[in-house]
Structure 1
């Protein structure tokens, strides 16, 4: 089977699955990644973990899609977008790990969600969708219960990560415009660029993992569950969902984390957490797409 044939097959099969299911898959694996990262944090500095995550994902994309074959065919504007996304991915992963090394994950997650809230609000043009956004935000506020604690510099990294997350959504939608498969190929090239861009800040801290096969295996697990599966699912969802709708769906992330906590960790939510999850789901259910955003 040729590369073009396999790409066509992937495009046909991916189009048969509702885009919202891709987002749910992305959300689930988004929170499985940190389970692997726990092992790495005990032996590797945050920037080293970030680079190992990016590098392992980049190698997988390289072996799977060989994205450099498509990069030369892109227009100059599209190539600039891919390069910009690669730099954003490198910095976003680095600031995220630096933030969660200093602040509670719930706090970093709540700050990160401020960006999608802004994008969703910008794209809402109806009273119905404005209500959907308000209900979802209320649910997220109840669920995250942000606490002001941790090192002050941690908040700097958290807000930098928030800004970079906005850029990821915007640039991600641009590379997804050519279709799900084309977006995956561009994403793969962006991940290779991210690996190179993060090299000066992460390679030195990543070196302890090279002497321990278990740490490298954990890094591969982090790369697959945190960067390969979620980012691919994001592309397949972004190709078919307006940007504002995708941003609103990100409200499901805290709810998904709670569900995973129940299933995997047996962490039963409180009554207020169950109410919050209900509000998030209600907000997403109320929302109706209004057309694609630029």
Structure 2
């Protein structure tokens, strides 16, 4: 790979794509929550991924991707991680405010960023992240306590998000933007049986179709396509840390669209997690090669 410094335009382009993707996906999450009373989180995830698969199939024509046995394995892991991330995140939204769910989920990419560096200063960022988690999940029943099951779902989504970053970067290097379509199709096939078993015929409710289509575009088709472009232009560690403002997007979206008001301690917790990620970004060494998943 060329070791020459990147131009300002080449650096800002993928960053701008990530900002658009984050705003889009959190707006879509707010819209998706309106579907929970009819088909539940499982059904909502299924409809979102199925509609997104159709959209991306038509636009990106993933059948043109050239897959080897090795790249197919990587894409499969990427797709399964994508499906798990979607399902577990929506499961968490049943009982946890959007901003808090995003903050807990964000521990996944933050872990990728810190593990990739493993420097002494990273212990500071680890400490900040832990403080944020303790503020979000306080010991005992208090006015700011959150549902522990919902929190566990959000943390599980974070694990899947970490796998999504690692395997998505490598899969994207093989087939570019078409990988996003392949990943969403695999995710839909993984999640669909769960959604069908839970919601059944309710998934065919006509009134849900335009809402599900909007969620598919805002939460999957648009942001994952943009993120795949960014993943192929940024190291995985940089990608993970640049996502640091995602919890803020989630909290603001929850406030604006769902009227979810957070306590001062919860806002401080989100700030701690954001600062941990920003700190990891500012203190990381410059890299000339992207971080990829181990074979």
Relative to the length of structure 2, the TM-score reads: 0.77
Question: How many angstroms does 1:67 deviate by?
Answer: 0.6
User: Gapped runs of 5+ residues in structure 2?
Assistant: 1-8, 138-143
Question: Where does 1:109-124 land on structure 2 (aligned, <5 Å)?
Answer: 109-124=102-117
For 1:153 and 1:125, the matched residues in 2 are separated by 31
Contact in 2 for aligned 1:136/1:281 (Cα 8 Å): no
Runs of 4+ deviating beyond 2 Å? 14-17, 102-111, 124-128, 130-138, 144-149, 152-160, 255-290
Within the candidate set 144, 149, 171, 2:146 is matched to 149
- Structure 1, unaligned stretches of length 5 or more? 1-13
Aligned runs of 1:92-131 on 2, under 5 Å? 92-124=85-117, 130=122
SS of equivalent to 2:239: helix
Taking structure 1 as reference, are residues 68 and 283 closer, same or farther at Cα in structure 2, changes over 3 Å only?
same
Residue 50 (structure 2) pairs with residue 52 (structure 1): no
Match of 1:200 among 193, 196, 200: 193
**Matched residues in 1 for 2:99 and 2:254: separation?**
13
Match of 1:245 in 2: 238
Would the aligned equivalents of 1:55 and 1:195 in 2 still touch at CA under 8 Å? yes
Aligned pairs (5 A) from 1:66-215 = 66-70=61-65, 73-124=66-117, 130=122, 133=125, 137=129, 141=132, 145-146=136-137, 147-150=144-147, 152-178=148-174, 182-204=175-197, 205=199, 207-212=201-206, 214-215=207-208
1:229 to 214, 218, 222: 222
TM-score, scaled relative to structure 1: 0.77
Matches of 1:30 and 1:158, distance apart in 2: 16
- Quote the RMSD (CA, aligned, Å): 3.5
Partners of 1:268 and 1:43 in 2: how far apart? 24
For residues 132 and 245 of structure 1, the distance between their equivalents in structure 2, rounded to whole angstroms, comes to: 18
Aligned to 2:140: none
The number of equivalent residue pairs is 272
